[in-house]
Amino acid sequence: MTDTRATSGLEGEIEFSLAGIFVRSIFDPAKAGHTTGDVVRHAGRSYALVRLKSGEIAQFPCEQLELVPEIETRVDAVAKFRFAGPEQLHRAILTEKVRGRLTEVFYSMGTGHADFYPHQFKPVLKLVSSTGGRILIADEVGLGKTIEAIYVWKELQARLGCRRLLVVCPSMLQQKWQAELRDRFSIDATIVDAKELLQHLGRAVDDTTTAFVLIGSIESLRARRPKTDEAERPRGFRQQLASFLSQNESAEGSELFDLVIIDEAHYLRNPATCVYRKPKPGCSDDEVRRVSRAN
């Protein structure tokens, strides 16, 4: 008669001739499943057939199986040296990569048609590793600050599913930004003035799934920040835009932009100018990613 009992490392003996017992390998806890009730012998050893979670039938030496505990913490597993194998580690790392949570992995790498230069990914690494969500790119002329800023956008798209980008730059650079986005990253960007930006934002408020990549000039968007005690209705589209942004500045759960890139950011350094007083985008500080590009 074949003895189908074996000593378990957890709770005495396991009757492998019974189906439905939840067991796992003592060498690889990730390999777990239910006994089928079938036991075979080979070369003097008994092997239990186990239906794994994947549905596959696998056989294990009976003495290398144990009962799966109902409750087991990570501390308990480590204390008993219950570690999964390399396949499970690879699967866990791959899962985290898909989720976009690894700070040392660049999801934006290879997404554009630009030549690879390692320094252009430093802003990406700095942003994903920071808690503030704001960075200043101040490389020397010719090192590709525009490309670096677009890599940040591609990274946020891959990691967070970002959909709304606004580039604010001097009017003479609008065509350059549009060409860089189109030719190097296959991104169609629309150049807008205050009226058109206001229309896009109005649709974004009504429909949270609205996506856009917009380019606006500092000159066409700047306006005096409305005072809270002003009773008069804002005149002109730039003033209406300023009022709209001011009203949505502290709104939670309805961010207007996922990312704002400000080119030639030194134009905003003078607090006495209308450019400096341009209202902040309507995004909460913990959600907005704002990249300033300065020469």
Q: Lowest-pLDDT range, 89-98, 137-146, 259-268, 280-289?
A: 280-289
Q: In order of start, what are the domains of the chain with their CATH numbers? A: 5-81 (2.30.30), 100-293 (3.40.50.10810)
How confident is the model over 45-71, as a mean pLDDT?
89
Least confident piece of the model among 129-133, 140-144, 181-185: 129-133
- Of 62-66, 82-86, 142-146, the poorest mean pLDDT is in 82-86
Distance, in Å, from the CA atom of 106 to the CA atom of 126, rounded to the nearest integer, reads: 12
114 or 270, greater pLDDT: 114
Residue 215 has pLDDT above 90, yes or no: yes
Tell me the mean pLDDT in the region 160-164.
87
- Of residues 245 and 180, more confidence is placed in 180
| pLDDT beyond 90 at 191 | yes
Lowest-confidence pick of 31-45, 228-242, 275-289: 275-289
Mean pLDDT of 30-47: 89
Higher-confidence residue: 267 or 273? 267
Residue 146, pLDDT above cutoff 80: yes
pLDDT at 223: 72
How confident is the model at residue 8, as a pLDDT?
45
Residue 291 contacts residue 260 (beta carbons within 8 Å): yes
So what's the pLDDT on residue 103? 60
